[in-house]
Amino acid sequence: MTKADFETRLRGASLRVTQPRLAVLAAVSSHPHVDTDDVIQLVRAELASVSHQAVYDVLRALTDAGLVRRIQPAGSTARYEARVGDNHHHVVCRTCGAIADVDCAVGQAPCLTASEDHGFTVDEAEVVFWGTCPACTPAPTTTSNRIPGGSR
């Protein structure tokens, strides 16, 4: 995405185009599931004078405007992504906290049907897949695969 695309997104959400907003949007777009500290670092690499508070404020404004989605898996700090408008889910590594996108198998929210809605109008089922990422999965050792007494 180019700077012009980000400007279009901001204007489309009735947000004034500012350098900090452009920088935050670019950082979140190029680093899916980035946390606040990393957004600050990325933005400051471009705009050294931007304060922490300014980045927090921009993240909130972009999230409120729907340009950025905030996710916070249990035990994780808040993460941000620019992939909005679809009902995608996340798979999270229990060991290192790595997060990856998972396309929704159904597409539209809510993708699960509540067995009892208690009269609520349900519009979303929050789905988080938990497991172990490839980097944290111990490689099977050859010894454990050997059949006891088997020939070499």
Would you tell me which residues interact with Zn ion (CB under 5 A)?
81, 93, 95-96, 98, 101, 133, 136
- Least distance CB 8 / Zn ion (angstroms): 22
Would you say 128 or 136 has its CB closer to Zn ion? 136
Angle at 20 between CA 50 and CA 10, to 5 degrees: 165
Enclosing H/E stretch for 79: strand 79-81
Give the Cα separation of 110 and 113 in Å (integer): 7
> Of 22 and 93, which has the nearer Cβ to Zn ion?
93
Decide whether 25 or 81 has the Cβ nearer to Zn ion: 81
How many whole angstroms separate alpha carbon 115 and alpha carbon 63? Answer: 31
Give me the least distance between CB of 81 and Zn ion, in Å please: 4
Spatial separation of the C-alpha atoms in residues 80 and 142, rounded to whole Å: 40
Q: Closest distance between Zn ion and the C-beta of residue 70, in Å? A: 11
